[in-house]
Structures are given as C-alpha cells and as structure tokens.
Amino acid sequence: MNSSDPAALPPENPNLEVSIIIPARNEEANLSACLESLTAQCGVTFEIIVVDDGSTDRTREIAQKFSGVRVISAGTVHAGWTGKNNAVVAGGKEARAKWLLFTDADTVHLPASLARALAEVKQKQADLLSYSPKQVVVTFAERAVMPVIFAELAAQYPPHKVRELGAEIAAANGQYILVRHAAYDAVGGHAAVATEILEDVALARLFRNASQRLHFRYGGDAVRTRMYRNWGQLRDGWTKNLALLFPRAEFLAFQSLILWIAAWSTIAIAVSGATSRHFVWILVAAFWLLVYRRIRTAHFAAVNNMLAMAFGLPMFAYLLLRSKKAHASGQVSWKGRTYIVSAPTEPRLARPVSKIESQKLRAEN
C-alpha cells in the first residue's frame, strides 16, 4: 500500500489486543531473529505488520516466510518526511488492535515479554510505555562507545523524571514503544512528527503535551538489540542523532575529554603514590571510580565499562563533534537517504527537536 492513499481505516478487531508494527529497510541480517521472537509470544492476541521501506535486499522475502505476518510496502516517502516515519504511518493505517507496538527489526523479544508489557502499561495506567532495550555489543567500537552514550542518555533523560506527571522532560526509545491506539490517534501519531529525525522523543513530547501518561524504563528484561554491526553504521547512526539528543554537544565533548584525561591522570598519580609509599595519593583514584560509576549506569558488562573508560570517552567526543558539524552543514545521511536539516539550537529539554526542512533521496552505493 502507499501511505498517502486515503483509504478508510481498517475496522478494529476486538479479538486483537496488540498490533505489532515493524518498519524494515534492508534488514536481512536482523529481521528473521526479530520475527522468530515475536511470533513465539504468548499470553496475548496480536498481529504483526512488517512495512518494507524500499528494501533492496532479502528483507521482504524473509518476512513473507513467516506465517501470519502481513507484509506491506511503505510507498513513496512524503516530501519532508523521514523514511522510518513514512513506514510506521503506513503500518499504523493497517493496525486493528487496541494497542500498537512500534518496534525495530533489529530487536529480539524475550518470551512472554509482550504480555508482560501489556500488563505493565495497564497497571501503570499509561498511554505510552517505552523500553530502552538491552544493548548487545560485539565489535571493539560498540563495546567502547555504547556504554558512554547510554550513560549520558540516562543522565540527560532520567527515566524516573520522564515518568513524573507534569514533568517538562519527555523521552522514549523508538525500538520499543507500546501505545494506546486511541491516544495515539488523538495526538496525531507519527504523522504529526513525520519530519522529525528523533521521532521517538518527539512522539513522547506529543503525549506529554496532551497530558497523556508516559512510562519509560530500562527494558533489558523484555527486549534486546544490536543497533550497529560495524564502525561505519555506528558512526553514521550517531552522527544523525547525537547533536539532537545533546543540544550542548560541543560542551559535552569537551567535558568528556576532560573527564577522560583527569580519570587516567588520577590513576597515574595513585600508582606513583603507591610505588613511592606516599599512600595518601592513592585516594585520588576515587575520582576514577566516580567516572566509572557514571558509565556503569548504562547496564553494560564490567569489561565493556572498562573499555569505555579507556577508549570510549574520546570516541564519544569525536562523534558529538562530528554530529554537530553535520547538522551545522545542513544535512545528515542514513540508509541511503540524505536529509536536509536545520542546525540544532540549544533549547531546553522540553522544546521540540530540530525538524527536517526538506528531504533529498539518493541511491545507496
């Protein structure tokens, strides 16, 4: 189907509790594991809609092999919209359940997690529930930089603050967003934030502005994901997002470098003090422990936290500055598409993220 078609919305099916919508663009490496985990869910009635977003690999073929999974086409991307938003809007138009789960093709869902999430959102009386998945990291770059990024995200968007009624701050993770269908339609859904690169945060702000209740937390007990599989993907993905997630990107980059230098300088001082029997100097190592404690809030293994301490902070600073430069130049690229953007300002957290002014598509090399 084409997301611009003015077809009538499908009738709601009272036997369905959740419509699962998965936008997928060239996801042949991930989609099979995602669908295997979702089709095996129990304790809840659901449908699965995979939206093929112009894939040129085996994405559509893989999705069609799963019985009961509906596969639709995203259609032509609307001018100014991001490809992902165009795809989820197309999927939302086909959804028939009272609840909608928007999840990415690179996620894997733990057994019975859907039923638990549905029970949780009802118990919390929330209109939007979002989990930050457990991050699976494999390569050196992933293991070094991802703990730093997610630690800073937890500091910038504290889940307990997001959950507070009437709080200015709002956030969600687009890899797992469960929403009440009626509330989603009432705020305009993804169509209302279709020009946003950070559509998940923008959608959460829509709900917040409409006085709808948000419930956001770390969801490693429900879902896991491997966001990027190599340095190129990691670099380009965070270049697209970091300047929007952290409006004071240059300051944060400088702070990260200072923390890195200071942390390892204190270790050197402590070691020198121990070898020269000036044991009082060992106490300065406490600063290193404070920095480590900040990083460990991101729920990664200790060995990855150590790599983040050794290498991740300067890598994070580089990615921040690269993202700032890309947005200042007016364009960012992702999955074969180039988006023309406005340079991010330095707003309060409650203000909308920067919008895409226009969009130019290019063929993927």
120-166 pLDDT, tens digit each:
999 999 999 999 999 999 999 999 999 999 999 999 999 999 999 88
Cα–Cα dist 239/241, whole Å? 6
Q: Are 85 and 193 in contact (CB under 8 A)?
A: yes
Average pLDDT along the chain = 89
Across 184-193, average pLDDT: 97
pLDDT at 259 over 80: yes
Cα–Cα dist 60/73, whole Å? 9
DSSP assigned state of 178 = E
- Helix or strand or coil: residue 23? strand
- Tokens 């670099």 -> residue: 235
Across 57-67, average pLDDT: 97
Least confident of 85-89, 153-157, 353-357: 353-357
pLDDT at 243 over 80: yes
pLDDT at 129: 98
Amino acid at 226: R
pTM as predicted? 0.88
pLDDT at 337 over 80: yes
pLDDT at 184: 97
What class does CATH assign to 18-133+173-229?
alpha beta
- Alpha helices of 95-192 — where are they, by DSSP H? 113-123, 140-156, 159-162, 181-187
Alpha carbon of residue 58 to chain centroid: 24
Q: Pick from 149, 177, 147: which is nearest to 162 by CA?
A: 177
Across 195-205, average pLDDT: 96
pLDDT at 216: 98
pLDDT at 268 over 70: yes
285-330 pLDDT, tens digit each:
677 888 999 999 999 999 999 999 999 999 999 999 999 999 999 9
For the stretch 61-72, what's the b/e string if a residue is b when 16 or more beta carbons lie within 10 angstroms of its beta carbon? ebbeebeebebb
Q: How confident is the model at residue 361 (pLDDT cuts 50, 70, 90)?
A: very low
Least confident of 36-40, 92-96, 114-118, 269-273: 269-273
Cα–Cα dist 341/353, whole Å? 11
Q: E strands along 37-175, which residues?
A: 46-52, 69-73, 99-103, 107-109, 128-132, 134-135
User: How far from 289 is each of 5, 57, 161, 269, 340, CA to CA, in Å?
Assistant: 57, 46, 25, 14, 42
Domain parsing of the chain, residue ranges: 18-133+173-229, 245-361
pLDDT at 270: 67
